[in-house]
């Protein structure tokens, strides 16, 4: 077997380093890492995919190599497979996917190509050479909720969301919990559009919220439409995916923005170094490890509010839990007991809302 000296050295170092688990069965690439991305949408979609494309140059710099990408790979096995295999045939051995719907195909591919490493954002499948990853978006949305709660005069916040699934519900609940920290009477009225990007429905939703006297609109959809409506109506909003001040500089107070380079650069270095141990249940980084972070803040947010939010951010990085008990749902059932913290399984299947969230079910 012809191992390159560098790999050999690093694996030696690893073997020496973890003497306790001397024979750890990590994953080691047979050749230097060559990394490629499969994008779910266009690279300039303004949200989810653009966040990856903006992280890519930073990751390239950090790893010292160019990383090619394919855009608009839909969540269909027949389209994912050829896109990934073309890269693999050209010698790429680390494939990064960016969609929930890639999960099963990536699992298949990881079994078919055991010498290639696979990473997939918002995926659900994992394996010896496959790791799914997603951010603890509730941490940054909690901070955005704090800003919204502090800025709102009416105490009535709105939220335009896509689908009532765990990863969306946890941002809504965190938003309300954050708002309550600044204004105990704050409520969040949620409208689900039933689509990740349907700007027509998002506009209608944001306008309906504004008509109801809501003065800050949060969001977990892919387009900046709710922010644009907020700006038109002279109210405020908080963004998701990226810093949406780009679209609504007056209205957008802050955004919950992905910081993928902070997670992917070190993770890819680990893969390149060899003996990589993918997390068996997927990577789930928070603010500390490069999931999302708050892009703060518009000038209208008072200095002392920013200071409070930043202090809270520091506490979260230091280990403070957003979903620490006691927490009840709208019906009064205890969901997280006093002294307990909601575990990851509980997060992913979250189908309840904290009091103060007004929503259809």
Partner 1 sequence: MTDFLINWIAGIPVTAAPYALAALGLIISERSGILNLSAEGLMLVGAMTGVASCIVLGGHPLIALVIAMVASSVVSLLFAMLTVVLRINQVIAGLAIVFFCQGLTGLIGNLAGWQNHPIAGLDKWTIGPLSEIPGIGKILFIQDPVVYLAIPIFYLVNRVLRFSMVGLNLRAVGENPAAADAAGVSVALYRIAAIVAGSALVGLAGAYISVVGVKLWFTGMVGGRGWIAVALVIFARWAPWPALGGALLFGCIEAVIPRIAAAGIRVPQYLMLMLPYLATIAVMVWAGATQRGGAGEPGALGQPHVREERR
- The CA distances from residue 246 to 46, 61, 237, in Å, are 10, 25, 13
Residue 30 CA to residue 25 CA, distance in Å, equals 14
Nearer to partner 1, 205 or 216 (CB): 205
Nearer to partner 1, 125 or 231 (CB): 231
Site string for partner 1, 66-85 (x = CB under 8 A): -----xx-------------
Residue 347 CB neighbour total at 10 angstroms: 18
319's tokens: 């280990």
Hey, is 59 helix, strand or coil? helix
Out of 62, 79, 154, 359, the only residue in the binding site for partner 1 (CB under 8 A) is: 359
Nearer to partner 1, 80 or 221 (CB): 221
Out of 45, 176, 261, 267, the only residue in the binding site for partner 1 (CB under 8 A) is: 45
Residue 129 CA to residue 115 CA, distance in Å, equals 8
Nearer to partner 1, 211 or 338 (CB): 211
Quick check: 223 binds partner 1 (CB under 8 A)?
yes
Compute, in degrees rounded to 10, the torsion defined by CA atoms 62, 63, 68, 71: -50
CB of 51 to partner 1, least distance (A): 13
Contacts of 231 (CB under 8 A, 6+ apart): 237, 248, 249, 250, 251, 252
Size of the chain in residues: 361
Alpha helix positions (H), the chain: 5-17, 48-63, 77-89, 103-112, 137-151, 166-182, 199-211, 225-233, 260-273, 303-317, 344-348
Site string for partner 1, 168-207 (x = CB under 8 A): ---------------------xxxxxxx-xxxxx-xxx-x
CB of 165 to partner 1, least distance (A): 12
CB of 56 to partner 1, least distance (A): 17
Hey, is 75 helix, strand or coil? coil
CB of 45 to partner 1, least distance (A): 6
Out of 130, 214, 297, 309, the only residue in the binding site for partner 1 (CB under 8 A) is: 214
Residue 234 CB neighbour total at 10 angstroms: 10
Tell me, by CB under 8 A, how many residues bind partner 1. Answer: 41
Partners of residue 340 on adjacent β-strands: none
CB of 50 to partner 1, least distance (A): 8
Residue 127 CA to residue 230 CA, distance in Å, equals 44
Out of 6, 18, 30, 42, the only residue in the binding site for partner 1 (CB under 8 A) is: 42
Out of 7, 26, 46, 146, the only residue in the binding site for partner 1 (CB under 8 A) is: 46
Within residues 228-257, the interface with partner 1 by CB under 8 A covers: 228, 247-248
User: Which residues of the chain form contacts with partner 1 (CB under 8 A)?
Assistant: 41-42, 44-47, 71-72, 158, 164, 189-195, 197-201, 203-205, 207-209, 211-212, 214, 223-225, 228, 247-248, 358-361
């Amino acid at each position: 077997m012809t191992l390159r000296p560098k790999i050999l050295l690093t694996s030696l170092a690893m073997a020496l380093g973890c003497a306790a688990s001397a024979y750890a069965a990590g994953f080691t690439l047979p050749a230097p890492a060559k990394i490629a991305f499969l994008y779910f949408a266009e690279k300039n979609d303004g949200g989810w995919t653009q966040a990856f494309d903006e992280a890519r140059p930073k990751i390239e710099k950090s790893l010292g190599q160019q990383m090619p990408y394919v855009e608009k790979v839909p969540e269909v096995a027949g389209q994912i497979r050829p896109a990934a295999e073309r890269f693999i045939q050209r010698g790429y051995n680390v494939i990064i996917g960016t969609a929930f719907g890639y999960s099963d195909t990536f699992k298949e591919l990881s079994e078919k190509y055991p010498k290639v490493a696979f990473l997939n954002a918002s995926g659900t499948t994992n394996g010896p050479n496959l790791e799914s990853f997603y951010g603890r978006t509730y941490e940054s949305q909690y901070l955005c909720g704090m800003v919204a709660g502090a800025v709102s005069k009416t105490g009535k916040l709105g939220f335009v969301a896509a689908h009532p699934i765990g990863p969306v519900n946890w941002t809504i609940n965190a938003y309300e919990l954050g708002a309550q920290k600044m204004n105990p009477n704050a409520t969040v009225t949620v409208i689900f559009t039933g689509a990740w990007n349907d700007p027509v429905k998002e506009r209608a939703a944001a306008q309906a919220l504004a008509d109801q006297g809501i003065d800050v609109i949060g969001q977990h959809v892919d387009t900046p439409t709710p922010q644009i409506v907020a700006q038109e109506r002279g109210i405020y909003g908080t963004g998701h995916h990226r810093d949406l001040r780009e679209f609504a500089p007056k209205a957008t107070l802050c955004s919950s923005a992905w910081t993928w380079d902070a997670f992917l650069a070190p993770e890819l270095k680990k893969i390149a170094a060899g003996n990589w141990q993918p997390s068996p249940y997927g990577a789930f980084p928070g603010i500390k490890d490069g999931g999302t972070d708050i892009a703060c803040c518009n000038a209208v947010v008072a200095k002392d509010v920013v200071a409070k939010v930043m202090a809270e951010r520091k506490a979260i990085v230091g280990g403070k839990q957003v979903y620490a008990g006691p927490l009840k749902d709208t019906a009064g059932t205890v969901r997280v007991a006093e002294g307990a913290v909601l575990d990851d399984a509980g997060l992913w299947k979250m189908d309840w809302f904290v009091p103060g969230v007004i929503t259809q079910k």
